[in-house]
Structure 1
Amino acid sequence: MPHPPTAEKLTEACALFCGEGKIIEAVRLVLTVASSHPDNVALLKAGATVIWTHTGRYDIVATLLQQAVTLEPHDMQAQQFLADALVTQGDLAGGCAVFSRIMDLWPQQRGDTTLQISKTLLAAGYPLEALKILASWLETGELTAGLLNNIAVAFLYLNRSTEALSWAEKAVAAEPKHPGLSFTYAIVLLKAGHHREGWERYALREPATDDMARRFTMLPRLRHGDDVAGRKIILYQEQGLGDTLQFIRFVPFLLARGADVTIAVPSSLARLMAMSFPSASVRSLQDCGTAEGYEYAVPIPDLPFIAGVASESDIPAQIPYLRADVGDIARFAARLPPRRPRIGIVWAGERRAQYENVTTDRRRSVTLAEMGAAFTPIEASLVSLQFGSLRQQITDWHGQPLFDPMGDVHDMADTAAIMENLDLIISVDTSPAHIAGGLGRPVWLISRRDACWRWGDEGEATPWYPTMRLFRSRERTCASVLPEVGAALRHWVEAWHTAHDSGATTRAT
């Protein structure tokens, strides 16, 4: 048998593959090494870590870790890792059984184990189960800041934000300087509708920047009340594209106060920003150079705090605030199917490999087959607005014709131009929904059960986008709400044809 590599060497080799986008090669290497050295616990754990970090194949992770704990049953780290993998892949009973075994083997660690299992259940989309375990611990165990925080998150994910508030507040009181607890409290405040306190605390976070935006964190960070007249201010992308599209509406607030504003965003957003805010300078992050010459920097999600948003009534009502190019609109109008109404659909968010994103994406996304089965047949033209690798699902779609213009789309300005030719957009909770809302187009958003804070706990309407209608899943995946959306769509199409035949126009509500 060949001499085994070290766990460190395996991790380094896989990191090189993953850095080049060669995920399949990394997985193949892990499986080859594990097969050649099935009794090497260190290699099994290292391989499981690689698969966990870079793929959504939690079944492979669980298989590797089952072998590891069989060899070393008293390896607590491997046992916890196995429990996490089982719960995350949907084997709730199996994962909880392993956690129970951990409590039996290490009774002195019951508090830490309760913290870990509740965290895992929350991340995997099981807030009620997490709350039950936490409630059981409350009866006899010591409350730590982490446990208090997880209780708050459980209520948050159950859309019971008012109940979450007191627990999040207690967690912060227990560890006032913990940034993660403070951020949870901010999200709870915002989802519960406490805008003033929520935005103040939200702006305390350390910006989550990549290498291209990190240079701007060296500049003074603009705060509410700072004098911006004549000041050179750079607004930069932080967090997701949806956050930028939602909060960029506050740019006129700074311009009206005499600020010299530059917007630094990914190249996919640059042209749409330039057309929407011609009084500001727009640069792509890739071509932005240094931070020299600017007096303040603003992560774009700070803008509601800077603008002093204290209630829903302070959210700017100027819709649309995004603008598509007139020439682009005409260009796509000539390519789209003539049959009306035209309905654009997005069935999935961006597929990301990291664990913290995979589990959320599984709860927000559906497949084209699931969406198509719920929506068709229908007396309308269906237009795909799906981007990225999941466009490939169109190849396997054999139902009602689906027009796909996305091969001619080079950036989000093109997507906006297509939307201006559509009568309705239906999307899961991802960036195209924000484009549609910012354009003032009729848009239906399919929200996961543990709804993002921006959509609140309940209701079909949102103050952020007056032309948006929310459909809320009540189960762990969004597929469960698709029949409700499909029924509403058929009623909407019938009303559209009635109005169209009578020479009138209609809008989605």
Structure 2
Amino acid sequence: MEQTGDTLFATGRGEGAVRLFLDVTTRHPDDWRLAVTAATIILRHSSAYDLVEAFLRPVLHRWPDTVPAWSLLLHVRVVRGDLAGSHALFAELLDRYPDESGTLCAAISTALLQAGHPAESLRILLRCFENGIVTPTLLKNMGIALFCLDRSAEAVSWYEKAEALAPTDYGITFGHACALIKAGRLDEGWPRYFNRHLTPDDRDAWYLSLPRLCPGDAVAGRGVVLFQEQGLGDTIQFIRFVPDLLAKGAHVTIVVPRPLVRLLAQSYPAAKVCETGTLARQNGYNYAAAIPDLPHIAGATSLWDVPAPIPYLHPDPDDIARFATLLPERRPRIGLVWAGEWRPQSIHALVDQRRSTTLATMATALTPVAATLVSLQLGAPRQEIADWTGQTLCDPMGSVQDMADTAAIMASLDLVISVDTAPLHLAGALGCPVWMISRQDACWRWGDAIGRSPWYPTMRIFRSREATLAPILKEAGMALRTWARNWRPARKT
């Protein structure tokens, strides 16, 4: 049931998975493990917390001492925001099941981390260790908590302890890699990151059977397929290493989703660029590489090795001129992005909630300001513009077809302010001044508690110090008004 359920959810057939779970648990009412498995899978792939509780309640009514069910319920309480209730339940369960302290501590610390409360998780974990409770999961969670609190150098040592106890645990080995990279130890981090489980957009693509390109492989005269793995922002960040392969004589084909095809074709005319799913099987290719592997393949062993030329992506001049006619003449012009794409899995949805905000929250904090505001927002959050009644917001995104169009708009802006999402990377790759509004538990790529990024020299980072973005947006608003007062048009040379 577990494998089938995972497959159904992974292929967009979550309703079919739930029907399967209901059928199986109805036919086997005396096996509580089936209901707990169903709840676990639903929680793994979605945010359907009511449904999770619906599977757990009968189990706890009939078998009230089922600790795995209590652990899941504890997780749900935390991620739903009931911190007081979850702490009370945790204390009650510790009293009732002292022999299950490790399991219960793992459950609540994991949930607190996923819900964006690393300091609370850290407090519970330290108490566990003081009481002599040590497991690989708890050691890993300690590493995650410190990572999220921008204490990555400390996190690495906890991951080392966890890995010593569970050397094949993927969550531990991958987290260890990310902590090393965030701590700036790229020479150790990239090789470990290279060993991650790949998640390409097209899992059935023929080129995935090609040898995986590794550092030191001879590429002169060889065909290399570079494919998107992870998000658009990851591709934009790491595509900068393509010139390294071209300079070594590789014949490069880049396979990416449609929104990036035209922009990358314009920026790398010596490479072939194809939309995901359209590259026909053919001879002449010797290697394939996931685009996030490129720093490791290029030998970027320190942040000093990050390629410096900015911009490295280039919009079409005709597109720039076309979109400039849609923008108000008043300068400075400031582009806004307040939300990233929403993902269905609970663990990702919780991150998306923390990294995103609303137009009302962002614009209220940033205005009034002596500037023209321009929306760069796509997707469902763009609909919020209709309800915005504050300072005028120009919205040219109805004419945007792809990232090349968005890049053309950015070329006429003086500043972009964005949450951590693909347009942020795009602005940085274009050399546009960009301010990132970062969640507290920032991604590994942004390092620890610094206001700048070696990946994007024109970026300034506003790091939240709590679970909400509202306070850091207020700080950014004060900085923006000062910036606008001091802004002067760039001199034409």
Farther-moved stretch of structure 1 (284-293 vs 41-50): 41-50
Contact 1:18 / 1:54 at 8 angstroms: preserved in 2? no
Letter in 1 for 2:252: V
Candidates 323, 345, 358, aligned match of 1:367 = 358
Cα displacement string for residues 22-44 of structure 1 (whole angstroms, at most 9, x for unaligned residues): x8x9999x99xxxxxxxx99998
> 1-side partners of 2:461 and 2:66: how far apart?
46
Tell me which residue corresponds to 1:477: 468
> 2-side partners of 1:148 and 1:27: how far apart?
33
Candidates 134, 140, 151, aligned match of 2:142 = 151
Candidates 19, 22, 25, aligned match of 2:12 = 19
Candidates 147, 151, 162, aligned match of 2:153 = 162
> 1-side partners of 2:452 and 2:176: how far apart?
24
- Which 5+ residue runs of structure 1 have no aligned equivalent? 1-6, 32-39
- Which 5+ residue runs of structure 2 have no aligned equivalent? 23-30
Farther-moved stretch of structure 1 (42-51 vs 82-91): 42-51
Tell me which residue corresponds to 2:241: 250
Contact 1:79 / 1:98 at 8 angstroms: preserved in 2? no
> 1-side partners of 2:282 and 2:160: how far apart?
37
Deviation at 1:18, TM superposition (A): 9.2
Tell me which residue corresponds to 1:451: 442
Deviation at 1:73, TM superposition (A): 2.5
Deviation at 1:68, TM superposition (A): 5.7
Cα displacement string for residues 344-403 of structure 1 (whole angstroms, at most 9, x for unaligned residues): 000011011211211111111111110111111222111111111111111211111111
Secondary structure of the corresponding residue to residue 421 of structure 1: coil
Q: Does 1:302 align with 2:288?
A: no
> 1-side partners of 2:387 and 2:233: how far apart?
28
Contact 1:362 / 1:477 at 8 angstroms: preserved in 2? no
> 1-side partners of 2:218 and 2:302: how far apart?
23
Secondary structure of the corresponding residue to residue 263 of structure 1: strand
Cα displacement string for residues 243-286 of structure 1 (whole angstroms, at most 9, x for unaligned residues): 11100000001000001111111111111111111111111112
The within-5 A match list for 1:332-343 is 332-343=323-334
Q: CA, structure 1 residues 395+209, in 2 after alignment: closer, same or farther (shift >3 Å)?
A: same
Contact 1:349 / 1:365 at 8 angstroms: preserved in 2? yes
Contact 2:207 / 2:288 at 8 angstroms: preserved in 1? yes
Q: CA, structure 1 residues 60+204, in 2 after alignment: closer, same or farther (shift >3 Å)?
A: closer
Secondary structure of the corresponding residue to residue 277 of structure 2: helix
Farther-moved stretch of structure 1 (57-66 vs 312-321): 57-66
> 2-side partners of 1:214 and 1:99: how far apart?
46
> 2-side partners of 1:360 and 1:208: how far apart?
18
Q: How many residues align?
A: 486
Deviation at 1:76, TM superposition (A): 2.8
> 2-side partners of 1:16 and 1:229: how far apart?
42
Secondary structure of the corresponding residue to residue 19 of structure 1: coil
Q: Does 1:425 align with 2:416?
A: yes
TM-score w.r.t. the length of structure 2 is: 0.90
Q: CA, structure 1 residues 214+130, in 2 after alignment: closer, same or farther (shift >3 Å)?
A: farther
Tell me which residue corresponds to 2:125: 134
RMSD value, Cα: 3.2
Tell me which residue corresponds to 1:82: 73
> 2-side partners of 1:42 and 1:140: how far apart?
30
> 2-side partners of 1:291 and 1:96: how far apart?
58
Q: CA, structure 1 residues 332+26, in 2 after alignment: closer, same or farther (shift >3 Å)?
A: farther
Contact 1:18 / 1:26 at 8 angstroms: preserved in 2? no
> 2-side partners of 1:175 and 1:47: how far apart?
27
Q: CA, structure 1 residues 253+16, in 2 after alignment: closer, same or farther (shift >3 Å)?
A: closer
Tell me which residue corresponds to 1:4: none
Letter in 2 for 1:355: S
Deviation at 1:415, TM superposition (A): 0.8
